[in-house]
Structure 1
Amino acid sequence: MPTWGEIVVRAGGAPVTTPRDAARDAARDELVKADYHRHDPSIQERVVNWIMERIDDALGALAGGGTSGTTGLILFLVVALLIGAALWWRLGAPRRTARTDLGVFGGTGPRSAAQHRADAERHAAAGQWAEAVREQLRALVRGLEERTLLDPRPGRTADEAAVEAGRALPEHAAALLTAARVFDDVVYGERTADQAAYQLLRDLDRTLERARPVLVPAAGGAA
């Protein structure tokens, strides 16, 4: 008869004993296999469950008698914080301010690329980098419209302008997308603008003034 720490394995009718440590190691190796844990809750689920348990504990304490006003207030704040943490975990950080539907020009009246460039330089000279970035991107887009590389269209976003201009200027498509991203981050994402962001847009604007477009054949044309 095997002892407590032994496992009997019958191989060909003959009992084979396994030492206690080896048996324990074999059992541990078997139990860590994924097949035994496929229905285990995820880390996120375990965290949320732990938060909900703490909320239940706090609510139970609030509902019970014998708590002072100060203790009740502290418990209430704890509950509020736990609920906020649970919502943050499940839904993520609050979204950035929604983008306006007015597009790059934000509802401003029609102005030339030269006027937007002048405003951008004026803001840059004053260290107003967010305004300089905004006006410089407007100058870039207006310049492309004046060269008929973009059709004038109210409400066009920076991303849309970058994609459309990139078809006519494929060598600068990546730089156009980067410029649109800088504009969006500053104008809509509340990112702090700096001289480098303005200079990036200004240099691209100057480069595009000299860039030659690539003619895209019409759909269905001769190969």
Structure 2
Amino acid sequence: MTGTSMVHEALTALPVGVPVDPDRETAHRWLLEELSQPEYSTAPSLLERLLQWIGDLFDGLSLGEGRFPLAFVLVVVAVVVAAVAWWVAGPVRLTRRRRASVVVLGDDERSADELRAAADAAAARGDWSAAVLDRFRALVRSLEERVVLDERPGRTAQEAAHDAAARLPAVADELHRAAGLFDDVCYGTLPARPEDDGFLRDLDARVRDLRPAPGVSPPAESEVSA
């Protein structure tokens, strides 16, 4: 708010009988009185308080040859910044870690080819979220059709990645990444992008060319839950 507009507000707040053409000194006094009202006061934000604290810390310390070396002050500031960053990002990270994975197929009885066709149609219309979800479902359904995975109702994305990674260790990291992507998109915490659909499309093609590692069986359900 500019000084002119503040003066105008101060003038309009005065009773009708007060002169509206004050001299410079009177207008300045009215402005100060108006700005002293509670509605013009604002509490400092968390960031402003943090910066003020850091500034006070520097003001109260003697650097170099004084009581505290500059390196000590910099370490203190770095610790404070790291603590604030953890406080902001930590709960989000923990919530995501504790969140349950999403069931991949549920009551969906479509074949792998039907799911791939649905993913292609979604990608063609720019619906990348639907494309990503159906693309991962197609990958899991394909593994079931090839008996790489057993058909298990209620299997989540993370369980599917865990089981498939045990049979196909060459793409274990990609399978876990794909499961995380499926969960994020399904929960709505991450907007799907064309490159996400491309990643799953390539992974699906790679998985179709792989054969399970010899002598490795899918883990029992109790092992996955543990």
In structure 2, C-alpha distance between the alignment counterparts of 1:111 and 1:70, rounded to whole Å? 62
User: Could you tell me whether the CA contact under 8 Å between 1:101 and 1:155 is conserved in 2?
Assistant: no
Q: Flag the structure with more relative contact order, 1 or 2, with Cα contacts below 8 A and sequence separation at least 6.
A: 2
How far the C-alpha of 1:142 sits from its partner, in A, is 1.0
In structure 2, C-alpha distance between the alignment counterparts of 1:124 and 1:89, rounded to whole Å? 37
Gaps of 5+ in 1: 1-66, 219-223
How far the C-alpha of 1:138 sits from its partner, in A, is 0.6
In structure 2, C-alpha distance between the alignment counterparts of 1:120 and 1:217, rounded to whole Å? 31
How far the C-alpha of 1:189 sits from its partner, in A, is 6.1
In structure 2, C-alpha distance between the alignment counterparts of 1:186 and 1:102, rounded to whole Å? 10
User: Could you tell me whether the CA contact under 8 Å between 2:136 and 2:182 is conserved in 1?
Assistant: yes
Gaps of 5+ in 2: 1-35, 51-82, 218-226
Could you report, residue by residue, the CA deviation over 1:181-204 in whole angstroms, capped at 9, with x for unpaired residues? 332343336223222211111121
Alignment partner, residue 55 of structure 2: none
Q: Secondary structure at the match of 1:104?
A: coil
User: Could you tell me whether the CA contact under 8 Å between 2:103 and 2:155 is conserved in 1?
Assistant: yes
Aligned: 1:152 with 2:121 = no
RMSD between aligned residues: 3.2
Alignment partner, residue 103 of structure 2: 103
User: Where do residues 29-108 of structure 1 align in structure 2 (5 Å cutoff)?
Assistant: 68-71=37-40, 74-75=42-43, 78=44, 81-82=45-46, 91-93=87-89, 95=92, 99=99, 102-105=102-105, 107-108=106-107
- In the superposition, the TM-score normalised over structure 1's length comes to 0.54
Change (3 A) 1:82 1:174: closer
Report the identity percentage. 42
How far the C-alpha of 1:100 sits from its partner, in A, is 5.6
Aligned residues: 146
In structure 1, C-alpha distance between the alignment counterparts of 2:143 and 2:37, rounded to whole Å? 69
In structure 2, C-alpha distance between the alignment counterparts of 1:88 and 1:108, rounded to whole Å? 44
User: Could you tell me whether the CA contact under 8 Å between 1:120 and 1:132 is conserved in 2?
Assistant: yes
User: Could you tell me whether the CA contact under 8 Å between 1:123 and 1:132 is conserved in 2?
Assistant: yes
User: Where do residues 61-210 of structure 1 align in structure 2 (5 Å cutoff)?
Assistant: 68-71=37-40, 74-75=42-43, 78=44, 81-82=45-46, 91-93=87-89, 95=92, 99=99, 102-105=102-105, 107-188=106-187, 190-210=189-209
Larger helix percent: 2
Alignment partner, residue 23 of structure 1: none
Task: Specify the code of the residue in structure 2 equivalent to 1:116.
Answer: L
Could you report, residue by residue, the CA deviation over 1:165-212 in whole angstroms, capped at 9, with x for unpaired residues? 111112222222232233234333622322221111112112222221
Of structures 1 and 2, the larger Rg is shown by: 1
Larger strand percent: 1
Could you report, residue by residue, the CA deviation over 1:18-63 in whole angstroms, capped at 9, with x for unpaired residues? xxxxxxxxxxxxxxxxxxxxxxxxxxxxxxxxxxxxxxxxxxxxxx
Alignment partner, residue 60 of structure 2: none
User: Could you tell me whether the CA contact under 8 Å between 2:166 and 2:216 is conserved in 1?
Assistant: no
